[in-house]
């Protein structure tokens, strides 16, 4: 049924033969373009649409990366010629420092192996940062931050600190950055298949759910607001990244919106994750990573999950969060 605006154009709620023909042609062109994109364009970039059990392409033609949809050798050879470097941020504040050793050791085993990697650890306990042997071309920098009595404040400050890191240290010294949760560990390859301008990870808790179940911020007063009829996927706040330029813009925007909300006494439902989802609804990611890239250890593996690459470990929040 057409809306009132359509009625004024078509004079009727029943589509004319000419209109049906026009719609059919548009559908044919879209399907043809999608076919060409999947058959010719994506393979040149090391990707394919061979998986039929999962969504491998967004409506805006961004790849959704699953096991079996990319050629790791081809992608690595492309990026090795570019001599790229990848930064990663991780926040180990308060008792979360207990997860850092496992994070760093598994990152050495699986995260951009064979490439230049610089991990930045934000912590209020710099003396407790573990010594982990790193391969040549890989390094770690510890950045002290103040403690907090509320885990929500720790979460909220991430965007500010990521923004400052890029502006003050990384511009001109790298190309890509990923922002990852410390209470997680790597189990499998996380490499060049994940690179892109703006990169999001689909949340493992909601990827089978209808959009109405996504825990977006639903209060219109908040700058993280996503209306009931809006949204694409629900993305993780615990893993995102992309080019320095794109992540800087994301961090600045989310920080600004968060601070503006705070001045009005508003805290979004899931802090920076809510603001991130609002941002990525408006600014579509150029690459979307499947839940393989941030699974949850308390969940059993579903049949479409052929590999778990990175996962949040089982933990007792009452023990590690200051105000849980």
Tokens of 101: 């050793």
Taking CA atoms, 262 is separated from 22, 267, 308, in Å, by: 49, 6, 36
Query: Is 93 marked as binding a ligand?
Result: yes
Query: Is 122 marked as binding a ligand?
Result: no
- 131 Cβ contact partners less than 8 Å away, ≥ 6 residues apart: none
Query: Is 275 marked as binding a ligand?
Result: no
Query: Is 53 marked as binding a ligand?
Result: no
Query: Is 288 marked as binding a ligand?
Result: no
Query: Is 260 marked as binding a ligand?
Result: no
Query: Is 273 marked as binding a ligand?
Result: yes
Q: Tell me which residues are annotated as active site.
A: 273
Taking CA atoms, 232 is separated from 37, 48, 179, in Å, by: 21, 21, 21
Pairwise CA distance, residues 63 & 60, whole Å? 9
Residues in the annotated binding site for Mn(2+) = 181, 183
Binding site as annotated, residues:
91-93, 96, 181-183, 203, 273
């Amino acid at each position: 049924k057409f809306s009132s605006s359509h009625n004024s154009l078509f004079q009727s709620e029943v589509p004319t033969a000419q209109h049906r023909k026009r719609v059919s042609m548009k559908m044919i062109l879209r399907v043809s373009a999608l076919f060409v994109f999947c058959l010719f364009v994506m393979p040149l970039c090391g990707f394919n649409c061979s998986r039929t059990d999962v969504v491998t392409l967004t409506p805006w033609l961004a790849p959704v990366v699953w096991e079996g949809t990319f050629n790791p050798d081809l992608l690595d050879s492309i990026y090795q010629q570019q001599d790229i470097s990848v930064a990663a941020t991780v926040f180990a504040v308060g008792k979360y420092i207990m997860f850092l050793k496992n994070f760093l050791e598994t990152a050495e085993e699986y995260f951009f192996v064979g490439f230049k990697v610089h991990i930045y650890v934000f912590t209020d306990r710099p003396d407790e940062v573990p010594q982990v042997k790193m391969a040549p071309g890989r390094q770690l920098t510890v950045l002290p931050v103040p403690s907090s009595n509320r885990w929500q404040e720790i979460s909220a400050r991430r965007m500010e600190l990521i923004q400052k890191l890029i502006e003050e240290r990384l511009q001109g010294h790298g190309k890509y950055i990923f922002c990852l949760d410390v209470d997680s560990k790597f189990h499998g390859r996380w490499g060049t298949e994940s690179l892109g301008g703006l990169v999001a990870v689909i949340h493992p808790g909601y990827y089978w759910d209808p959009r109405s179940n996504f825990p977006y911020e639903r209060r219109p007063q908040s700058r993280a607001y996503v209306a009931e009829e809006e949204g694409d996927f629900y993305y993780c706040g615990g893993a995102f990244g992309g080019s320095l330029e794109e992540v800087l813009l994301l961090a600045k925007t989310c920080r600004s919106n968060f601070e503006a909300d705070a001045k009005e006494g508003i805290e979004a439902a899931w802090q920076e994750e809510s603001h991130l989802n609002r941002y990525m609804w408006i600014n579509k990611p150029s690459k979307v990573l499947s839940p393989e890239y941030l699974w949850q250890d308390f969940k059993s593996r579903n049949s479409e999950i052929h590999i778990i690459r990175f996962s949040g470990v089982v933990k007792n929040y009452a023990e590690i969060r200051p105000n849980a």
